[in-house]
Amino acid sequence: MLKKFTRLTVLSTAAIAFLGAEAFAATQWNVSVWGKRRAFTEHVEKLAELVSAKTNGDFTMNVSYGGLSKNKENLDGISVGAFEMAQFCAGYHRDKNPTITVLELPFLGVSNLEEEVAVSHAVYGHPAVQKDLARWNAKLLMTSPMPQYNIVGTGDPRDTLAKFEGMRVRATGGLGKAFEAVGAVPTSVTATEAYTAMESGVVDTVAFAQHAHFAFKTIDIATWWTENLNPGTVNCPVVVNIDAYNALSDEHRAALDSSVGESITHYLANYGELLKKWDTVLAEKGVTKVSIAQSEIDAFRTAAADPIREKWIADMEAQGIPGQELYDLVMKTLGK
């Protein structure tokens, strides 16, 4: 009888220990990004570091560079819970996230990364935007701010609008629309495909922010870069699966939320260091800086900014989305 009681006690103790371990099990999230670690992903890496530190290793993030999903399928992966966090760019699938494409309209007038953060997070906080992304079970967490895009190419520089006619350019979203407005032919190959597309002649030029020209090596085969075209940028949020976010303990959720600002600050500082190196890299690689005449930029803005904005607003309103309100929010935020 005593032997039986002792055995039951041991089993009960083991069961309690097991249940306790389950109750206090560590949380591990899978995070889907692409390419390789670079300035564009530094806030994601910093977020993982901070969350782990704040929870003493109880909440960790496995950041995967292409191992979980293709970049154009990250939002789909979030929707089905294939992973808990992901980064994507609005221009990859405009129909899936129409509200945030307001941030990809050309010539918005955003002049630095801090302004890009401000306008992005203002838009992310709008109820219509949150409802839009909730269709994919996605909660907007933070932006991936990028400077204004400029293009690299080979051969003779494309330094006038006349030379843009027929130019095959890797440009997505609103940037693609802008180039199309002046006679270029945009293609939305992904960032990871850009080098091959340029090398093989599928595209003549590639529009990227500086970090991407580094990361995807388009600068290695370019002979020129437009230093002042600045037609706009791409908006790339980091989102989390709503169910996964809601399932976090209060402690873990607080650790995540409180780390966003610190992660963005780290991102901005890191990107600033990259920009300081840019001119040196151009010189080392023999890439010519091409300055576009202000008259050409003004003509580009006239052809692209107003018509594309007005069409975007009309298209959004026709879908029941407050397009004018979202655009006005961007302008109001910039005004501050």
pLDDT digit string (tens) for the chain, length 336 residues:
444 434 444 444 444 444 444 445 699 999 999 999 999 999 999 999 999 999 999 999 999 999 999 999 999 999 999 999 999 999 899 999 999 999 999 999 999 999 999 999 999 999 999 999 999 999 999 999 999 999 999 999 999 999 999 999 999 888 999 999 999 999 988 889 999 999 999 999 999 999 999 999 999 999 999 999 999 999 999 999 999 999 999 999 999 999 999 999 999 999 999 999 999 999 999 999 999 999 999 999 999 999 999 999 999 999 999 999 999 999 999 998
CB neighbours of residue 128 within 10 Å: 16
pLDDT, position 25: 64
Closest CA to 312 of 75, 131, 108: 108
Structural domains of the chain, ranges and CATH numbers in brackets: 27-145+234-274 (3.40.190.170), 150-233+283-335 (3.40.190.170)
How far apart (Å, rounded) are the C-alpha atoms in residues 324 and 322?
6
pLDDT, position 174: 87
pLDDT, position 173: 84
**Kind and range of the H or E run holding 21:** helix 2-23
User: Do 97 and 132 form a contact (C-beta atoms < 8 A)?
Assistant: yes
Burial category of 209 from C-beta neighbours within 10 Å (exposed 0-12, middle 13-18, buried 19 and up)? buried
Per DSSP, 287 falls in state P
Q: Name the token pair of 30.
A: 């899978």
Query: Following DSSP, what letter does each residue of 56-75 receive, concatenated?
Result: TTSEEEEEEESSS--GGGHH
Closest CA to 282 of 214, 185, 201, 234: 214
pLDDT, position 188: 84
User: Do 85 and 242 form a contact (C-beta atoms < 8 A)?
Assistant: no
How far apart (Å, rounded) are the C-alpha atoms in residues 49 and 43?
10
pLDDT, position 15: 45
Is the Cα torsion angle 202, 205, 208, 211 positive or negative in sign? Answer: positive
pTM of this prediction? 0.85
How far apart (Å, rounded) are the C-alpha atoms in residues 54 and 49?
9
pLDDT, position 23: 45
